[in-house]
Homo-oligomer: A and B are copies of this chain.
């Protein structure tokens, strides 16, 4: 079993990761090909292709930083959360030994996750959670028009819009009142961000749509496009962002007894009777 080890460079240094984790994996017959900061990339893709799995040390945010690389190279990700368990990570900080054993013996549950593609400013970006268009300032609104397959569907003034995958339905989309969506599904959710209107609801559309977001007016400042929690582009009135499905998927490894609904219950109290 060969692995590349990714870590959150804001929370750890490469030497510490090497010192703390290398032996654990080595003792379980996992060969660590390389230790890399999440979000970085190699000039030459060939090393990725040698890996059987990407091991990510960090929270959900760190897994998101590795998602595109995982999708491009069709290598599954397993996340080990150094803090508390997240939605995307499989093991918490007390379970590293177990993680190593499960990875070595391939005692894992794999699920393929639907991805979005975002086209803006000549770039193409891949998203596992969500793409947002948001005003840059805490004041004023942006005037948005959203077209689905070329047809104008939503018009409103507000803070922006979130387009999310089923995986992203427990992220920022949840904060804006969106539904919770089983992550095995292939679909796109359009959630207005603070639209100043009553006649708008979260809208769930099939993955074979392409969605254009046109910025007609910004009261103050600019607007930003974010992908999985990173700012990727600054846009102005008159510009557009196009979002569609990706043909690729991320394969996410979890513990073998993984249950999405149990994670929902543990992390959000979803469906739990409090009294």
Q: Which of B146, B151, B224 contacts A138 (CB 8 A)?
A: B224
- Known contacts being A148-B261, A151-B259, is A185 close to B204, with CB within 8 Å? yes
Interface membership of A167, Cβ < 8 A: no
| A230-B273 contact, Cβ under 8 Å, with A177-B177, A180-B203, A206-B185 | no
Give Cα A232–Cα B161 distance, bound, in whole angstroms. Answer: 26
Is A270 interfacial (CB 8 A cutoff)? yes
Q: How far is the CB of A143 from chain B (nearest CB, A)?
A: 9
The answer to whether A195 has its CB under 8 Å from any CB of chain B is: yes
Chain B residues near A274: list those with CB within 8 A: 197, 199, 267-269
**A182–B211 CA distance with the chains assembled, in angstroms:** 14
A275: chain B residues within 8 A (beta carbon): 84, 266-268
**A200→B197 contact, CB < 8 A:** no
Interface string of A210-245 (1 = CB under 8 A from B): 000000000000001010011100000000000000
Given B180, B196, B262, B273, which contacts A204 in the complex, CB threshold below 8 Å? B180
- Residues on the B chain within 8 Å of A41, using CB: none
Contacts of A271 in B (CB 8 A): 146, 153-156, 199-200
How far apart are the CA atoms of A146 and B138 in the complex, in Å?
Answer: 20
CA A264 – CA B275 in complex, angstroms?
11
Chain B residues lying within 8 Å of A264, measured Cβ to Cβ, are 153
**Does A58 belong to the interface (CB within 8 Å)?**
no
In angstroms, Cα B65 to Cα A22, docked, is 61
Question: A134 in the interface, Cβ–Cβ < 8 Å?
Answer: yes
Asked if A270 contacts B201 (CB within 8 A), the reply is yes
A24 at the binding interface (Cβ < 8 Å): no
| Chain B neighbourhood of A171, CB < 8 A | 196
A179 touches B (CB below 8 Å): yes
Cβ distance A82 to chain B, nearest Cβ, rounded Å:
15
Q: Is A159 an interface residue (CB 8 A)?
A: yes
A198 partner, pick from B146, B181, B198, B231, beta carbons under 8 A: B198
Please measure, in the bound complex, the distance between the C-alpha atom of A174 and the C-alpha atom of B272, giving whole angstroms. Answer: 17
With contacts A179-B189, A261-B148, A261-B151 taken as known, whether A199 is within 8 angstroms of B201 at the C-beta atoms is: no
Q: Which residue of B lies closest to A261 (CB)?
A: B153
- CB-based contact A175/B199 at 8 Å: no
A110 to chain B, nearest CB (A): 16
Name the B residues within 8 Å of A175 (CB-CB): 158-159, 194-196
A166 to chain B minimum Cβ distance, whole angstroms, is 8
The 7 closest A-B pairs by CB, nearest first: A175-B194, A154-B271, A179-B202, A134-B138, A198-B199, A199-B269, A181-B204
